[in-house]
Homo-oligomer: A and B are copies of this chain.
Amino acid sequence: MSQPAPVPSASPITPEIEEALATVKRGCEELIIESEFAQKLARSRANGKPLRCKLGLDPTAPDIHLGHAVVLNKLRQLQDLGHTVIFLIGDFTSMIGDPSGRNTTRPPLTREQIQANAKTYFDQAALVLDREKTEIRYNSEWSEPLGAAGMIKLAAKYTLARLLERDDFAKRMRENAPIAMHELLYPLMQGYDSVALQSDLELGGTDQKFNLLVGRELQRHWGQEPQCILTMPLLEGLDGVEKMSKSKNNYIGITEAPFEMFGKVMSISDALMWRWYDLVSARSNAEIAQLKREAAAGRNPRDLKVLLAQEIVTRFHSRAAAEQALAEFEARFKGNAAPDDMPEVKIVAPQGLAIAQLLKQANLAPSTSEAVRNIEQGGVRINGEKVADRAAVIAPGTHVVQVGKRKWARVVLG
């Protein structure tokens, strides 16, 4: 039974609102619906009531890398614009686990495990977010009281056909792959979270877009103004190609040591640097535009990479740690700074690769025996660090590899 959503009275879209909108949109995949969100921003400005910005979290994976920080960064921008962030922990369904029993890697979590995971997650996320403007909520608060009757009433608000529009459901239907009935209920539960929270904006990955739209529709059913939706892209990892993930080993963990973090940022390509500026930097649009102008006027991209690396290390550690990492980085590469245009080589080696093999395959040595000689002579550095053990095995990941003074390569192992 659809109730008419209240029609917001129009507030003026000032240049200040336009600017806030541009900040929110920066790097995003899609903002649904931009004009609606501009109106929400304007009204919030007029009535002083912060917008409620929701991010749903699966409390099973508390180990955050820079890819996760993309959405946190966006939330921080929203906080800096005066709005409230709601960290929604999906404890209700996590306590159920996968009731079909098909997915044995997703056992039900206890309330204690969930709270511990949520705490770990939040402690990490707090490096980006403003704690004061962050609400932490658990969806069992309103999902449990729904009861069996509430579930049926909720299910009545949505048709099967609408749910089957979701890409993965549609694909499975076409391929006659089974869809267990509870899987169809999850998007409804998630949408109902937005109703319960009276969410103004929900953030998510592009793969979440369908579920976020369900929330919009359910809010209309409950007579609420529908939330807007901001989907953020997945961040490309160190290699600049694959999405950042632990399994691809192309990530920066946000708890990694300052020097590791700094070095990894310095290893990315120039193109990727600009992408990361958009997605993970707290700098304003104006500042980034200025940096781009400077690069166009001939400023060395390496300097801009240093700025980015310092900002990231500062955020996750401290200003002092960032200064120290820079000093250490420059000391190691003293006199032999990595060239900006070093070749990039990809080597398929999911288990890592012996150092001599790596040098040969990356064309840094004509043979493995020559490579061994280079190692023993102390002429081989990986990410600025000397490798003297000819038996060393280099782990998958992106590495800046140097042989002697002149031979460089960015090697992507994986």
Contacts and interface: CB of A to CB of B under 8 A. Distances in A.
A157 B95 CA distance: 17
A393 to B, nearest CB: 42
A401 to B, nearest CB: 50
Given A161-B176, A179-B160, A92 B149 contact: yes
Contacts of A160: 160, 173, 178-181, 184
Given A1-B101, A99-B153, A152-B96, A181 B161 contact: no
Nearest to A179: B160
Contact of A95 (B101, B149, B180): B149
Q: Which of A101, A149, A157 has the most CB of B within 10 A?
A: A149
A161 B174 CA distance: 11
Contact of A93 (B144, B152, B159, B161): B152
A203 B158 CA distance: 32
B149 A185 contact: no
Interface string A113-137: 0000000000000000000000000
Contacts of A173: 160
Interface string A159-187: 11101000000000100101111101100
Interface in A184-214: 184-185, 188-189
A152 B182 contact: yes
A151 B153 contact: no
Question: How many copies of this chain?
Answer: 2
For chain A, the bracket of interface size reads: 35 or more
Q: Which of A98, A153, A180 has the most CB of B within 10 A?
A: A180
Nearest to A151: B151
A173 B95 CA distance: 33
A92 to B, nearest CB: 7
Nearest to A153: B99
A182 B185 CA distance: 10
A189 B179 CA distance: 18
A181 B185 CA distance: 8
A181 B158 contact: yes
A150 B148 contact: yes
Given A148-B147, A161-B178, A153 B96 contact: yes
A157 B180 CA distance: 7
Given A161-B179, A184-B184, 10 more contacts: A92-B148, A100-B156, A100-B157, A144-B148, A151-B185, A155-B182, A159-B178, A159-B180, A159-B181, A181-B188
